[in-house]
Amino acid sequence: MIQLLFATGNRHKFEQVRDALGFPLQQVRLELPEVQAIKVQAVIEQKARAAYSLVNQPVLVEDTGLSIHAWNGLPGALVAWFLDSVGVDGICKMLAEYDDLSATAETFLGFYDGERCAVFSGRMDGRVVRSPRGSLGFGWDPVFSPDGWDKTFAEMTPAEKETVSMRSRAVEQLRTYLQSLRNPQV
């Protein structure tokens, strides 16, 4: 059995996916070209193929974006660079003059085994809060509150977050796919 690799440098993402997947998973850090696109889906398949070309075994990649509706979908897949530049406080400050704080968080997982490329997605609608709240989680968790919740992701327990997160939804689709493979290589 060849172990499935998850190409990510983000320990938090790795742990969330590993814990939810139910298949053996090993983290591998790779230098992958970053496709410049706002839409997360445009990035994921190319990223999966690039990762496979480096490890030559079944590989999983992930990309998550935060699309703020008042900004016509920005930062989208560019959210990591956005956070590096302005941080979560900066996002809140830049949204201070906007009434529409609605946002959509999307996670895409890409699986490639040299033959099959499959993409799985999870989506969560919500809003950006006026100021960061909470100390759990990572990235933009302190500023995103999913619809139906008064808490940000950073205020939720890991169990609460897992029940609503877009990443959990994508992982569930991936798990179903891996279980359906007649001759899985993982």
pLDDT digit string (tens) for 68-100? 999 999 999 889 889 999 999 999 999 999 999
Residue 55 has pLDDT above 80, yes or no: yes
Contact in structure between 4 and 186 (CB atoms under 8 Å)? yes
pLDDT at 37: 66
Residue 8 has pLDDT above 50, yes or no: yes
pLDDT at 29: 94
Residue with tokens 């990572």: 138
Does residue 33 have a cis bond before it (omega within 30 degrees)?
no
Quick one: pLDDT band at residue 31, thresholds 50, 70, 90? confident
Mean pLDDT of the chain: 90
User: In angstroms, rounded to a whole number, what is the distance separating the alpha carbons of residues 69 and 65?
Assistant: 12
pLDDT at 1: 46
pLDDT at 185: 55
Residue with tokens 């690799």: 5
Q: Residues 6 or more apart from 170 whose CB is under 8 A from it?
A: 62, 107, 108, 109, 120, 121, 122
Higher pLDDT, 66 or 182: 66
Q: Residues 6 or more apart from 34 whose CB is under 8 A from it?
A: 43
For residue 4, the cross-strand partners are 25
Residue 41 has pLDDT above 80, yes or no: no
154: number of Cβ within 10 Å: 22
Query: Where along the chain do its domains lie?
Result: 4-180
Q: What percent of the chain has pLDDT over 70?
A: 94
Least confident of 24-33, 60-69, 150-159, 176-185: 176-185
CATH 3.30.230.70 at 4-180, yes or no? no
| pTM (predicted TM-score) | 0.85
User: In angstroms, rounded to a whole number, what is the distance separating the alpha carbons of residues 154 and 130?
Assistant: 14
